[in-house]
Amino acid sequence: MYLLTLLHSFLTTLKGFIILLLLFIGIGIGFGTTSLQQLNQGSRQFVDTTMLSLLTHWDNSEFFTYASDRLQQRLTGIQLQQMKGVFNQLGHLLNYQGAIGGIFHSPTTWWQVGARYKIQANFEGGKLIALITLIKQEGHWAIGQFDYRCNFYPIEKKVGSLMLI
């Protein structure tokens, strides 16, 4: 009862209304920041886990399990064979340096978020740099776009990376 009286007194005065408005804005910003941090951690963990698994032993069918429906439809058999050929030529993974990037709002709709990360990995036969865009699909992260560039040459292991094989 006392709470309703207090709330009524805040809503009937301009000063009380402004205090309540600022309080709700603060709560909203705090909740939004926490949610974005959790999304960022989840997406980064997805990229690191997925890419480490894929780069250790590339398998097109495994890549498809992590790819979004749209990416699966766009990829042709020739493109998949080219990717497999590139990873066969790179050889064994020496180290993976982790994902750099984060979440962003979709340019078309503000309430949808995606994530974009750059990864680097060294292999026996060269270096890979990839840009990976994630999207939320049925409540889970999926690879929406996978762009990569390779330099082929022998390379030595770098101490201090996330994984040495």
pLDDT digits (tens, 9 = 90+) for 3-49: 667 666 666 766 666 766 666 665 555 545 455 555 678 899 999 99
State the virtual CA torsion across 36, 39, 40, 41 in degrees, nearest 10.
120
pLDDT for res 152: 86
* 60-81 per-position pLDDT tens digit: 999 999 999 999 999 998 998 9
pLDDT for res 156: 59
114: confidence class by pLDDT, cuts 50, 70, 90: confident
C-alpha 96/C-alpha 128 separation (Å) is 9
Q: What is the pTM of this model?
A: 0.69
**Yes or no: domain 2-164 corresponds to CATH 3.90.1150.10:** no
* Cβ atoms of 141 and 65 closer than 8 Å: no
pLDDT for res 77: 87
* 125-138 per-position pLDDT tens digit: 999 999 999 998 88
What are the structural domain ranges in the chain?
2-164
pLDDT for res 11: 64
